[in-house]
């Protein structure tokens, strides 16, 4: 959410931001609703002031004057009630429009409508060359008895899966690998966070109202979040920090759930678009400075890159174009790792900063050194998401005999260097 004064003073910039994000938002509609809101609020304030003046006169008024004043009071009260009813309707419209105002993308964000227009920033690693036809991660998992997709569908429905044996152990090894990496970064606090959250938490982080179709909703009106960022940000809601407490850095972990709306017919098998998964998320709150946000953005990206480099996974980083940004994002990087079977890059990480878009909605503030209270800036980036990362690990490390070489950092958790040989 942006400040209404900023919106009124920068209507052209808001319009340009919406166009760059390819969003159908008309700022003039919001300005019109805001004008109505202001007019009604001013009128109501005047009527309440008039009521106070009349109320003050009544005790000392004569009987005749009291009757006249009470009639006048009734008329003012009835008129005020009508305007209060009008204001309620105007406020509903105003709040809906305010929640739809897109954040302004950074000038460095490339033009484009879809992820096909994202711009490659850099690449790392060597794409493996096999002297055999590489298998898909599904074939590898099933051949090595590491997963059961058939039972997954029977038990959990479409896109369900079971990881078992070395498949489960490899997943656990990745979790411990991430925890140990961030244990060396004392400024990050590990946190287990809820995935079952209230509607307000999703409104606050910007996943509602626009993203509802991709969320699971319970019969009680709560939701299953698609990322640990949601609960983590809400943990700090209605909080005023000191500048000395910033930056706040959290390594958050939770189960995550997505309906994968809009992906009908895409990646229906395997681990790419599952409905239930697990994420380690880096979340940062920092001072209200664009430069400081940019510095943290690059640092979060570097953490994710280092994890992939330690796993020796080829990847590239792309800068997301305007049309591939969410409502609140100022700028976003995606990291995509190499998948040999399809000879494609597969998104595994997203790194974003929001300025005060989320913190204004959640009322997360800090007191600056000059004593002024400001809204903090927020950022987040995937540290690691499982089981999707297993796709690249398995396929890039497969051997001719169908076995899997375990990346060196994971071997101590697995107690071996190779999974296999393949079952015949």
What DSSP character marks residue 415? T
- Bond prior to 299 in cis (omega within 30° of 0): no
User: Is 259 annotated in the active site?
Assistant: no
For residue 381, the SS3 value is strand
Q: Report how far apart, in Å, the C-alpha atoms of 31 and of each of 3, 37, 395 are.
A: 12, 10, 53
Q: Which helix (H) or strand (E) holds 366?
A: strand 364-367
Instruction: At 166, list the tokens.
Output: 């070395």
- Which one of 360, 361, 365, 388 is the catalytic residue? 388
Among candidate residues 36, 212, 276, 347, the one labeled active-site is 347
Task: Name the token pair of 150.
Answer: 């058939």
Options 198, 259, 273, 310, the catalytic residue = 273
Cβ 418 vs Cβ 403: under 8 Å: yes
Catalytic-residue membership of 258:
yes
d(CA 396, CA 134): 9
DSSP string, 332-363: EEEEEEEETTTTEEEEEEEEEEEETHHHHHHT
Q: What is the DSSP letter of 398?
A: B
Active-site option among 37, 159, 169, 258: 258
Does the annotation mark 273 as catalytic? Answer: yes
For the four alpha carbons of 243, 361, 203 and 261, in that order, the dihedral sign comes to: negative
Residues in the chain: 424
**Which residues are tagged catalytic?**
258, 273, 347, 350, 388
């Amino acid at each position: 959410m942006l400040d209404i004064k900023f919106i009124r003073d920068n209507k052209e910039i808001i319009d340009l931001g919406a166009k760059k994000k390819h969003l159908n938002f008309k700022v003039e509609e919001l300005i019109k609703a805001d004008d109505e809101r202001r007019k009604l609020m001013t009128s109501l304030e005047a009527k309440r002031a008039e009521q106070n003046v009349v109320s003050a006169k009544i005790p000392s008024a004569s009987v005749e004057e009291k009757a006249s004043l009470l009639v006048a009071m009734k008329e003012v009260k009835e008129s005020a009630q009508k305007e209060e009813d009008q204001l309620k309707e105007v406020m509903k419209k105003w709040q809906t429009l305010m929640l739809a105002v897109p954040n302004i993308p950074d000038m460095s964000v490339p033009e484009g409508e879809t992820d096909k227009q994202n711009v490659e920033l850099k690449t790392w690693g060597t794409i493996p060359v096999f002297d055999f036809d590489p298998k898909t991660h599904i074939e590898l998992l099933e051949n090595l008895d590491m997963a059961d997709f058939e039972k997954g569908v029977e038990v959990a429905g479409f896109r369900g899966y079971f990881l078992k044996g070395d498949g489960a152990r490899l997943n656990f090894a990745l979790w411990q690998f991430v925890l140990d990496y961030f244990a060396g970064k004392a400024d990050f606090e590990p946190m287990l966070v809820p995935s079952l959250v209230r509607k307000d938490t999703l409104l606050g982080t910007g996943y509602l109202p626009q993203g509802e179709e991709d969320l699971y909703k319970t019969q009680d009106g709560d939701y299953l979040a698609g990322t640990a960022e949601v609960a983590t940000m809400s943990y700090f809601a209605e909080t005023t920090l000191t500048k000395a407490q910033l930056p706040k850095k959290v390594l958050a972990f939770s189960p995550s759930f997505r309906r994968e709306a809009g992906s009908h017919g895409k990646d229906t098998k395997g681990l790419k678009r599952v409905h239930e998964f697990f994420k380690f998320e880096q979340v940062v709150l920092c001072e209200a400075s664009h430069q400081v946000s940019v510095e943290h953005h690059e640092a979060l990206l570097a953490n994710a890159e280092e994890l992939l480099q330690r796993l020796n996974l080829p990847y590239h980083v792309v800068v997301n174009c305007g049309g591939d940004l969410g409502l609140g994002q100022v700028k976003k990087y995606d990291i995509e790792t190499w998948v040999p079977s399809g000879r494609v890059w597969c998104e595994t990480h997203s790194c974003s900063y929001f300025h005060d878009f989320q913190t204004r909605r959640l009322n997360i503030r800090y007191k600056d050194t000059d004593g002024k209270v400001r809204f903090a800036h927020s950022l987040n980036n995937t540290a690691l998401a499982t089981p999707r990362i297993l796709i690249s690990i398995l396929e890039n490390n497969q051997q001719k005999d169908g076995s899997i070489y375990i990346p060196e950092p994971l071997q101590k958790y697995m107690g071996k260097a190779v999974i296999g040989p393949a079952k015949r």
